[in-house]
Structure 1
Amino acid sequence: MAKVQPAGFWSYTHRDDQLDGGRITRLSERISHAFEMITGEPLEIFLDKKAIEWGEAWRRRLDIALTGTTFLIPVVTPKFLVSQECRREVITFAGHAASLGLEELLLPILYVDVPQLAEGSRGEPDDEVLELIARRQWVDWRDLRLEDEDSPQYRKAVHMLALRLSEIIESAPPPTPVQPPGTNDSTEDAPGFVEAMAEMEQALPSWLDTIQQFAGIITLIGEQTSWASNEMTASDARGGGFAGRVRVTEELASRLADPVETVDALGAKYWAELASIDPGVISFVRQAADGDLSVEDRNVAQDFFRAVNELADVTRETTENLRGFSDSVAGAAEGSRLLRPQFRTIQSSVQKVIDSQTIIDEWVRLIGETDLKDNR
């Protein structure tokens, strides 16, 4: 197998780069140059996500298995975390890296303070992308970004980061495909390809049920919010003033208490289950695509792939509807101190479902590139 040239995908928001005078893109160039100085090999950095070359390289690098030479370097800022494109890149890459046991290939740079990643922050981050980042040994650039780019301190930090990249490549173990939870038993009783595929297929109806329950609760929340809006209009017409609005707000908060708790639990459950099985599904799709499968195994794989595509058709439509709801909640969250925590919980839960769709969409993409697509 020909040696694969090291490459890095620079995940950042263009607005952050503009606000910082182009320093984020210049940092990528400095790291690339320092890497080549250290190793004698070029490190290709892909920067422009709008370029066709970026998308083709992204898919090619994921599809040939990362093999320890492809990095995703997220430049983490508050704007990064609200960029759906950036979130999608982290989630997709993390799944592929984990599927091969190469999690160090995701190397975040904390560029601006994000409280949930700060030392001493309590508990796990409530944001799933932050959780993926927090599990890695991220590089702290919060103070360094304020240094002169030609200062010894800055140059040394660039050198150390490039050195770390070279060491990861040097020490990366051979890719080791990860099996889904419950299928990594090495004994004779361990489930084979057919059993493991069947086990995953049985989980699909549960996920569909969860997303449908979630959508139903969101509809209920929307109805209660509309009720409150109508009540406020009626109260204003009666001359109720701000006291009337407060009364309606308190009643709405009471009505939303149980639905918000439910939607929070459903969103967390949905994300956790999909994220935990994602590396194993990616491995199995690769195995199905690359392996010399028996007729029975091919049929089982096709059944599973068809079920995944059917799930995706339903969840994609639901997710699009939720995206619009999340945007409306974002504005409402600032309107009332009493309702703000509930609306932010709703928004966080909806984001978990949106991010989960990224996982399912990547499965569909990988399945679509195999010769096992269901043609019946």
Structure 2
Amino acid sequence: MTNEQPAGFWSYTRRDDQLDGGRITRLSERIANAFEIITGEPLEIFIDKKSIEWGDAWRARLDSALTGTTFLIPIVTPKFLQSQECRREVIKFAGHAASLGLEELLLPIHYVNVPQLAHEVENQPADEVVELIAKRQWVDWRELRLEDEDSPAYRQAVHKLATKLAEILENAPPATPVEIASPNQNEEDPPGFLEIMAEMEATLPAWQDTVQQFSAIIELIGTETQQATDEISLSDSRGGGFAGRMRVTEELTNRLTDPVRKVDELGTKYWAELSTIDPGVIGIIRQSSQSNLSTEDKESAREFFKVIQELAGVTRGTSAQLQSFSDNVGAAAQGSRQLRPQFRTIQAAVQKVIDGQAIIDEWSRMIGDMEEGEE
């Protein structure tokens, strides 16, 4: 066991806890108690996400050596995946843990059935947060949550989970920063700090281009959808009835085929690029605060971080607009079974860009905190 006191950040939605009679928060207490009985050491559980302490502790531990003793325990339900805050927490923690080679410290609990996580549905747009969770050794609590909390089955399951937490901490390797692999790298001539940052800097304009393409396609989809709405109104005024509405909907479905395919491709590309290099960029930000860097490297880092901060400002505005668009698409999807699959694909693609913003915002936060510390 490590010398630092381990801590668990309980990521859940309050509404889920209310609907389940407070069982989610009680489960956190039972696990902490079982952990202390097993190990003799307390497990601090941070559960009140509205408190200043919760946010400060989250950021402080992620940015320090205590990352290696910090669990994120998402309580996965359909509502959890609908929560932008919960999604951001999983994405940010996954990047930090991966940057230190400690991915097992993300320990999801599958609390209420999520069909995508259980591989029970087909032909659904991919959800990158579900995929992040699926790659971990998540704990299945779907049936256990229906057990009496004092039943032998429930108590044994709590004991087993607490034991698993203790074993992960006991066997986890030392936190090891992950290096970014250069496409031209070979074992005899590994890239230096400058070469790595030059590659990252060259990648940023490509992301901006992807966002611009994405926004253009979304604008086209919005225009086509509004045109169809106007055509339906005109058809209704002429007495076209439901037959007229169906004709307009079918024409819109055909017109959206290519734009929807393109927006799906761009969303996937954007998320894949960001999530792949996220651990490495976090590593660069950490390394740049070290005193053993040369003056040249530190100056290059400042220029690189300036580009990231500018990018964060641009994409933040785009993400806010996309969130509004996604909400409108979701409402429109309820009116037509024919359009629903396309609108789901659009929403999933938009969500990838919104989720990608969580990664960029975390870089921006770390850079801001680092720069404040240098003043």
Q: Could you state the TM-score of these two structures normalised by the residue count of structure 1? A: 0.96
1:121, distance to aligned residue in structure 2 (A):
6.1
User: 1 CA distance for matches of 2:119 and 2:240?
Assistant: 48
Report the residue type matching 1:300 in the other structure.
S
Give the corresponding residue for 1:331.
331
Which residue pairs with 2:211 in the alignment?
211
Q: 1:73-106 deviations in whole A, cap 9, x for unaligned?
A: 0000000000001001000000000000000000
Structure 1 position 59, deviation (Å):
0.7
Counterparts of 1:33-182 in structure 2, within 5 Å, are 33-118=33-118, 126-182=126-182
Amino acid at match of 2:157: A
Report the residue type matching 1:347 in the other structure: Q
Q: Distance in 2 between matches of 1:31 and 1:186?
A: 46
* Contact residue 77 and residue 114 of structure 2 kept, 8 A: yes
* Residue 154 (structure 1) shift: 0.4
Q: CA deviation at 1:183?
A: 7.1
What does residue 30 of structure 2 align with? 30
* Matched position secondary structure for 1:75: strand
Distance 1:123 1:42, change over 3 A: farther
Contact 1:11 1:75 (C-alpha < 8 Å) held by counterparts: yes
Structure 1 range deviating more: 292-301 or 15-24: 292-301
Q: CA deviation at 1:316?
A: 0.6
Once the two structures are superposed, what CA deviation does each residue of 1:252-275 show, in whole Å capped at 9, x if it has no partner?
A: 111111110000000000000000
1:370 to partner: Cα distance: 1.7
Deviation at 1:20, TM superposition (A): 0.4
Tell me if structure 1 keeps the 8 A contact 2:125–2:345. Answer: no
AA paired with 2:284? F
Aligned residues of 1:181 and 1:277 also touching (Cα < 8 A)? no
State the partner residue of 1:261: 261
Can you list the C-alpha shifts for 1:339-364, whole angstroms capped at 9, x where unaligned?
00000000000000000000000000
Q: Percent identity?
A: 68
Contact kept, 8 Å, 1:31 with 1:161, in 2: the verdict is yes
The AA in structure 1 aligned to 2:279 is P
Amino acid at match of 2:74: P
SS in 1 for 2:370: coil
Aligned partner of 1:221 in structure 2 is 221
Superposition RMSD in Å: 1.9
In 1: Cα distance, 2:145 partner to 2:244 partner: 50
Alignment gaps of 5+ in structure 2: none
Q: Which moved more, 1:124-133 or 1:187-196?
A: 124-133
Rounded to whole Å, the distance in 2 between the matches of 1:28 and 1:349 is 34
Over 3 Å counting, the alpha-carbon distance change for 1:120 and 1:345 in structure 2 is closer
Q: Quick check: 2:4–2:66 contact (8 Å CA) kept in 1?
A: no
> In the alignment, residue 165 of structure 2 is paired with which amino acid?
L
The offset of 1:137, in angstroms, is: 0.4
Is contact 1:305-1:373 (8 Å) kept?
A: no
Map 1:221-370 onto structure 2 (within 5 A): 221-370=221-370
Classify 1:372/1:57 alpha carbon distance in 2 versus 1 (closer, same or farther; 3 Å): closer
Q: Displacement, 1:159?
A: 0.2
Q: Cα 1:124–1:239, aligned 2, differ >3 Å: closer, same or farther?
A: closer
CA drift of 1:187 comes to 2.0
The total of aligned residue pairs comes to: 374
The structural deviation recorded for 1:67 is 4.1
- Aligned-pair CA distance for 1:334: 1.1
Distance in 2 between residues matched to 1:216 and 1:202, nearest whole Å: 23
Structure 2 counterpart SS, 1:71: strand
Give the CA deviation at 1:310. 1.1
Is the 8 Å Cα contact of residues 109 and 139 (structure 1) preserved in structure 2? yes
TM-aligned CA deviation for residue 117 of structure 1: 1.5
Contact 2:305–2:367 at 8 Å: present in 1 too?
A: yes
TM-score (norm 2): 0.96
CA distance in 1, matches of 2:114, 2:129: 12
Secondary structure of the corresponding residue to residue 189 of structure 1: coil
- Once the two structures are superposed, residues 4-59 of structure 1 have per-residue CA deviations (whole angstroms, 9 ceiling, x without a partner) of 21000000000000000000000000000000000000000000100011011001
More off after superposition, 109-118 vs 355-364: 109-118
Q: Which runs of 4+ in 1 moved over 3 A?
A: 119-125, 183-186, 371-375
> Runs of 5+ in structure 1 lacking a partner?
none
Residue 258 of structure 1 aligns to which amino acid in structure 2? Answer: D
State the AA in 2 paired with 1:15: R
Tell me, what secondary structure is at the counterpart of 1:369?
Answer: helix
**Partners in 1 of 2:241 and 2:69 — Cα distance?**
64
Q: Distance in 2 between matches of 1:22 and 1:28?
A: 10
Q: Equivalent residue for 2:16?
A: 16
